[in-house]
Amino acid sequence: MSANSPPTVDRVERAANPALLLALALILCCAVAAFLLLPAELGVKAISLTIALLAIFGVFSILLYAFGQLQFAGRASRFDVTKAIADGNSDGLIVTDADSRIVYANDAYRVFSGAKGAADLKLVERLFTGAPEVSEAVYRLAQAARGGKSAVEELRMAPPLSGDGAAAWYRIRVRPLDGVSRRGATLWTVSDITRERERHESFFQDLQHAIDYLDHAPAGFFSADPDGSIVHMNATLANWLDYDIAQFAAGQLKLADIVAADGAALLSVVSGHPGEVTTERFDVDLKRRGGQFLPVRLLHRVAFSSAGLPGPSRTLALNRAPGEDDGNDLRAAEVRFARFFNATPMAIASVAADGGVLRANGAFARLAPAALKPPVGEARPSLYAGVAERDHSALREALAAASSGKGDVAPVDLALSGEPPRSARFFVSAAADPQGDEGANATVFALDTTEQRALQESFVQSQKMQAIGQLAGGIAHDFNNVLTAIIGYSDLLLANHRATDPSFQDIMQIKQNANRAAGLVRQLLAFSRRQTLRPQTLQLGEVLSDLQMLLRRLVGETIELDVVLGRDLWLVKADLNQFEQVIVNLVVNARDAMKDGGKITLRTRNVPAAECASFNEKSLIPADYVLVEVEDEGHGIPAHVRDKIFEPFFTTKEVGKGTGLGLSMVYGIVKQTGGYVFCDSEEGAGAVFRILLPRFIPEAGVEPAKKEPAKPAADLTGRGAILLVEDEEAVRAFAARALASRGYTVLEAATGVEALRVVEGAAAIDLIVSDVIMPEMDGPTMLTELRRRGLNVKIIFVSGYADDAFARNLPEGQEFLFLPKPFTLKQLIETVKSAMS
């Protein structure tokens, strides 16, 4: 059948004819009568014949139903209603089957197509032709129909289908019809939307006119989202602020970009009740793109939702620049004062006796925004809302004193509410005119002291750490003397006892525990930055590569150790053994923080001076550094613990599981090397320790000096006069006995002053072994005096402190040997033998 053929279905499919039903009933009655009146055999035949006729009638009815020629009465009734609705629809409706044959078309579609009869009907593809954009739209619809999909297109026909007018707009929809007997049936809907489009175009033209009027109004206008992003600005305001309105995009500017000083904070704290629209007036300065200020009066309106949340703001700006006002001197003075009030960096607020904030400037809005938002159920904001609850009593006392007219109310330091923690100093004074400014009883001036308090706390912490370091250093010095005597006398006892002697193991236990104590003392000295360091030029990549095997054994099998070494690392100057101890301590701490396993990452890289600011550490002096990072995936460090982790004896481990000296030793070694150590951690998110060691640049052509370790002499005996200067009697007695047993003549002195007297009465002295810190006269001062008197013998300084701690007190170029405490008998004899050779 061609597309122009008459529609195959343009009728209502009726229910079965009532005559058929009457015939069926008559046949059944005749069968019953025959069964009752005829003989038995004939009755049975009649019944059988009736059943056969009924079967034939049923099969015939099923075939009629299958071909749509028979409907049940209820369904036919519903079909009549549906067809009536379709026939009366003002939109053109046409149904096609899978072969693009017209199955149904209503009267509206016939009008659209101009068809006078069924033979004149056209498919939508044939009806809408012409311009390429029309053909393309119809093609897309046809493709959707063939694919069993829904689609909609709007197109413009010139001339229209009716032929009246220049052009018309049509909306064409296509969708598959499910649940119908015909396979692939598709419904096309054609609507004339010309008037609808004209109404829309008229609306948009009116809107454009309104925007043009707003753009060229004599006042500025802008709209901002609650987050401060400016979404609209009229041309007048853009011209005032020197912005090109054609290049302005929503969200490109923030309130802080166009409102000077703290005016943006003042706008952001406008408060209101749920469902209300609040309008506030502000005299502030706007900021031009070039940085110049423009005085304006803002009429700021904010609508609040039913939940009390602020919506987008609408703000009108009136130019108050000189020459733009109406010549009213009083109003001009008011504007100047308001600008001064809102532009001052001092936070100012007028407050009632109960703490209600009546008026505040921009600086106050920035400092305590919570104080300018009314609490739930309150009509006006409260100053107490901006202050931490623990400080409410102090603020209440200050307001009460000012409200009673007292002068010289002492300033109060208060913690502000909200995060991050901040603080401020409030100066509260009585209002000059309690009846003015809406009944204000007090004026509050506030200064942000957050940074000042942070600096104070940092200084106090630094002083605390220095005091602890001095205490630890003093204890370590005295304890070193005790340990030197214990270790020394243990060596003397061991020299007189064989390994088979029952006392030998007891003496060894004494010495081993003394050595353990010496290790703790070294950690204390490391924290106090007074330990002995032997700095040498290091390439940290090589050091960590050599240390990997030890670290992997320390962390165990459940923890992965990843070492990421940077390329071309700069050189540093540090004590190799102490640096390795730093890394071991940090890795062990990271291991202990991951009981269930995890990953530890060691990273190194160069940090140029320009990148130092990225660490956000105020104490870090910009320079070239080599960075070492130790990162773990453990439980992290809480904020209240982070400030204490480098303190000696502070530990979060169980009793008996840690000394609390590991991180303090790391801190001391890194600081003594001239570097920095920082910790970055959040609870539950692991921790990162960063060590920054200063870059070392060797002088051109000069190899870094390397001290060869002294080889122990096979024969440790010797001759010569040795002056032994030591204020600790036990140490002096042990050293004198040890040296005398090796053939040396020992002259003893308890102080530097006594040593000078011994030198005057001695015939000859070949070597001086002296403590550094002594009463009356220390070792360096004694050496300076001996050199002045012409005694130029070698000297060995003995101390628990680092040699550079006292070397600065010696004459320039003065040479000396150094023996750190505590030392063993063998170390003492070997050092003396080396100096005497």
Per-residue pLDDT, 325? 55
Q: What does pTM read for this prediction?
A: 0.44
Specify the 3-state DSSP secondary structure of 358. strand
pLDDT at 224: 92
Mean of the per-residue pLDDT values of the chain: 79
Is 80 exceeded by the pLDDT of residue 611?
yes
**CA–CA gap between residue 726 and residue 724 (Å, rounded):** 6
Helix, strand, or coil here: 609? helix
CA-closest candidate to residue 528, choices 588, 466, 585: 466
Say what the pLDDT of residue 6 is.
42
Average pLDDT value for residue range 82-97: 83
Sheet (strand 794-799) strand order: 745-749, 721-725, 767-771, 794-799, 817-820
Distance between CA atoms of 736 and 722, rounded to whole angstroms? Answer: 9
Res. 705 pLDDT band, cuts 50 70 90 = very low
Mean pLDDT of 40-68: 63
72 HSE (CA, 13 A, CB side): 3
CB atoms within 10 A of CB 433: 8
CA dist 172 and 807 (Å) reads 97
Residue 808 banded pLDDT, cuts 50, 70, 90: low
Judged against a pLDDT cut of 50, whether residue 9 lies above it is answered with: no
Most confident of 244-248, 322-326, 341-345: 244-248
In sign, the C-alpha dihedral spanning 111, 116, 121, 126 is: negative
* pLDDT score for 332: 67
Tell me the CA distances in angstroms from 15 to 23, 25, 65, one per residue in order: 16, 17, 10
Mean pLDDT for 234-250 is 88
At a CB cut-off of 8 Å and minimum separation 6, what does 578 contact? 526, 531, 533, 669, 673
Separation between Cα atoms, residue 830 and residue 563, nearest integer Å: 40
Q: Which helix (H) or strand (E) holds 50?
A: helix 40-66
Average pLDDT over residues 342-353: 83
CA distance 253 to 244: 13
Residue 395 has pLDDT above 70, yes or no: yes
How far apart are the C-alpha atoms of 734 and 746, rounded to whole Å?
A: 12
Residue with tokens 């706390």: 457
Cα 370 → chain centroid: 23
Q: CA 151 to CA 143: how far, in whole Å?
A: 9
| pLDDT at res. 809 | 64
**How far from 210 is each of 206, 207, 289, 686, CA to CA, in Å?**
6, 5, 27, 58
Give 10's pLDDT tier (boundaries 50, 70, 90): very low
Query: Tokens 């107490």 — which residue?
Result: 384
